[in-house]
Structure formats: C-alpha cells, structure tokens
C-alpha cells in the first residue's frame, strides 16, 4: 500500500470536492492493472495553527508496480489542477507502507 499527500493554498473545500470528483473517473480510465486499487480522498490538516485542505492518493496492490500506478494518479491530479487553476503548494514523497 502506498500513500501520498498533496497540499493546497487558498483552495475551498468545494474546489477540493470538485477536484476529487473529476480525478476519480479519470483514474479509473488509466488502464491500471485490476489488482491495484487507487483511492483519492480529501484530507484536512493543520500546521502551526493554520488549517488547510489536501488530497490523499492511496494505492493498494502488489509492490512491484505501486510506483507506476501512483505516478499515473498523481499526474492526473496535477493535470486537472493546472486546467482548473488550483495551486498546490507541496506534493509529498511517495510512502510505501
């Protein structure tokens, strides 16, 4: 299983919800092998008293191709963010658990 977080600057919960609703079907169409499950969901975080919103990308499946499946999902998130003008301030490194 892998996990990666993407944090946003000045983005509303509604914008994140819309982003997730656009990413989910796009991820399903990416020809990821059937033994992998990709989940994209909202994460609310706080750092030094400042709250914000992020997106978590979680990939479950055999370890040998988790990185490739994660990269496909992350690229789709970034692509949609660029089209929608949503500014992300950091994309965490892939963490395989």
> CA-to-CA distance for 95 and 3, rounded, in angstroms?
5
Residue 8: what pLDDT? Answer: 82
> CA-to-CA distance for 88 and 57, rounded, in angstroms?
14
Measured in whole angstroms, the distance separating CA 73 from the mean position of its chain's CA atoms is 7
Which residues of the chain fall below pLDDT 50? Answer: none
> CA-to-CA distance for 4 and 40, rounded, in angstroms?
10
CATH no., domain 2-96:
3.30.70.1130
Q: Where are the domains of the chain?
A: 2-96
Residue 91: what pLDDT? Answer: 83
Residue 46: what pLDDT? Answer: 59
């Amino acid at each position: 299983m892998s996990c990666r977080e993407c944090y946003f600057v000045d983005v509303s919960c509604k914008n994140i919800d819309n982003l997730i609703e656009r990413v989910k079907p796009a991820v399903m169409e990416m020809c990821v092998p059937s033994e992998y499950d990709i989940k994209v969901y909202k994460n609310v975080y706080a750092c030094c008293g400042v709250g914000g919103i992020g997106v978590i990308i979680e990939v479950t499946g055999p370890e040998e191709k988790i990185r490739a499946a994660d990269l496909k999902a992350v690229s789709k998130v970034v692509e949609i963010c660029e089209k929608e003008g949503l500014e992300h301030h950091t994309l965490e490194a892939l963490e395989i658990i």
